[in-house]
Amino acid sequence: MAFTKEYAAKVILSLDGVRQTQRAQRNIYDSGIINPVSTSALTNLLSYSSGILSLFLANTAAALAAGVLGLVASLTPSEKDVLQSMVYSGYWNLGYLEDFLVDNPGYDLIEINFPFIEYETAGVRFITGKGVVTRVHSTSGGWVIL
């Protein structure tokens, strides 16, 4: 049994940070949950998102890869199905944040209150949904509360 907790936490990301987060979450989904690969292969995939790995509670790509693969191996089929759905939802919804920042070049940062699920024994967490944008930072300076 995996010990989990669900909560919301605020995160500030740039457009590049959103893209790195989306890429990492997609790689976790594809190569950590759906079709698990070796730890070294997942580490390699996650290394391209090294700037945001702390968002997943990992200091390195190798630590995140090992945590994800160890977690997935320990889950029952129904637990894995739930995790798969939640991780996909988080990945999918990150695309809307990317669209927003691309469509609004006057903003360079976005603060989101993301929903997370944390697997305490594995030392990893995942974005599980859309999140709520609480404010954006203008390229001319200053935060705008939404």
Which residue type is seen at 124?
V
Which residue type is seen at 33?
I
pLDDT value of residue 84: 97
Question: Averaged in consecutive runs of 10 residues, what is the pLDDT profile of the chain (146 residues)?
Answer: 88 98 98 97 96 94 97 96 97 97 98 97 95 96 93
pLDDT value of residue 3: 87
| Domain extent for 139 | 4-145
pTM recorded for the entire structure = 0.95
What's the first-to-final CA gap in the chain, in angstroms?
Answer: 39
Is-contact 92 140, C-beta < 8 A?
no
Domain count across the chain? 1
